Amino acid sequence: MTDKIRWGIIGCGDVTELKSGPAFNKVAASSLVAVMRRDVAKAKDYAQRHNVSKYYRDAAALIADPDINAIYIATPPGSHEAYALAAIAAGKPVYVEKPMALNFAAATQIKKRAEENNIKLVVAHYRRAQPFFNKIKELIDEGAIGEPTHVDLAFDRIALSEEELEQPQKAWRVDPAISGGGLFNDMAPHQLGLMLYYFGKVKNASGTSANSNSLYMADDRVKGNIVFDNGIKFTGKWDFNAGSNADECIIYGNKGSISFPVFGEQHMMINKNGAKEKISFEAPYHVQQPMIAQAVQYFLGKAENPCPAEEGCEVMRLMEVFTGK
């Protein structure tokens, strides 16, 4: 049994610059050993700026590196399956970005192969590890708003401009062949992952989606409904061709409500018996650091899995039910 997790990152792009990459060296019993990017000049630049000793242009070489005993997959979803299966075949535990894969079938294949080979795998639904969202769960569980009854979620974004769609770091997110869908597939996993964390197993789900302005191939308006096994109902609306931005989730109980943004500043409002209380948190500087810390403890055999593959798969399934894709 190892006493330290030595990471290799596949895909050291923008998402790893601040959100995750530096955290691997700030978490106890963890270090970042190597990074990989197909553009080797960018991989070298990343390694030099972040004091990483090795860099690769080939994922297979990174996975085979004997100094690495865990793999973080931070590429676009279209390549998650291939890289995850390669890491699993090499016997190395995997921390994979959300959404877990290009589609539910690919996510299920990753889960199946990890189980068959007894390889640990964590999906990076990292908000569930942050104190702000854990406080919301604590309030729900302790009955601060009574028995939860239903959830309303609204998320709106102004449509991407033609100039933005020409930027590679944004264009891939609305290419279904790479992202699996559009901005819905990029953003909704954070929200749906939290709903599963808060309310458990899904009884049934339904939804609709549309491509409202044909700016790109993916649908930009989605509605989804969930009934959980415990009877709690969820309604979500996502509009990526809206006139203004909105980000609000309201959890209603029979004695009050909790409202909060999923992506905005970490402020929640508790409304109970007409009285309102605001609770604020400061988001972690590296937003994935709490989840990475939990993943490290899980890989070391000292804690439970903070986000198992079945939950990553269920998020993928729900998105496909909502969109019919």
314 domain-assigned? no
Residue 213, exposed/middle/buried by CB under 10 A (0-12, 13-18, 19+)?
exposed
| Count of beta carbons in the 10 Å neighbourhood of residue 220 | 25
d(CA 71, CA 140): 34
Tokens standing for residue 63:
């996975």
Q: What is the pLDDT of residue 274?
A: 84
- State whether 147 and 106 are in the same domain: no
Within 8 A by CB and 6+ apart from 292, the residues are: 20, 23, 24, 27, 30, 95, 126
| This prediction's pTM | 0.96
Pair (41, 106) in one structural domain: yes
Residues 170 and 217 in one domain: yes
Tally the domains of the chain. 2
- Domain co-membership, 120 together with 193: no
Instruction: Output the pLDDT for position 242.
Output: 96
Mark whether 278 and 139 lie in a shared domain: yes
Q: Answer whether 306's CB lies under 8 Å from 122's CB.
A: yes
Q: Are residues 257 and 135 in the same domain?
A: yes
Neighbours of 219 (CB within 10 A): 24
Residue 221 lies in domain: 131-283
Q: Which of 132, 129, 140, 142 is nearest to 304 (CA)?
A: 129
Alpha-carbon gap, residue 308 to 111, rounded angstroms? 9
Task: Note the pLDDT of residue 273.
Answer: 84
Mean pLDDT by 10 residues, the chain (325 residues): 92 94 98 97 97 97 98 97 98 98 98 98 98 98 97 97 91 94 96 98 98 92 98 98 97 98 97 93 98 98 98 98 94
Per-residue pLDDT, 303: 98
d(CA 258, CA 139): 9
323 part of a folded domain: no
> Looking at residue 1, what is its pLDDT?
60
My answer on whether omega of the bond before 22 falls inside 30° of 0, hence cis, is: no
- 322 is a domain residue: no
- Are 93 and 169 members of one domain? no
Which residue stretches of 166-308 are H helix? 168-171, 176-179, 183-199, 289-299
Beta strands in the chain (DSSP E): 5-10, 30-36, 54-56, 70-73, 94-96, 121-123, 148-158, 202-210, 221-228, 233-242, 246-253, 256-260, 267-272, 275-280
Neighbours of 70 (CB within 10 A): 24
Check whether residue 94 and residue 237 sit in a common domain: no
Q: Which residues, including other chains, have CB under 8 Å from residue 78's CB and lie 6 or more apart?
A: 102, 177, 178, 179, 180
Tell me whether residue 12 is in a domain. Answer: yes
| 78 and 150 inside one domain | no
Q: Which residues pair with 215 in a beta bridge?
A: none
CATH number, domain containing residue 56: 3.40.50.720
Residues 149 and 93 in one domain: no
Asked, for residue 313, whether it belongs to a domain, the answer is no
For residue 320, being part of any structural domain is answered with: no
Whether residue 142 is contained in a domain is answered as yes
CA–CA gap between residue 63 and residue 60 (Å, rounded): 5
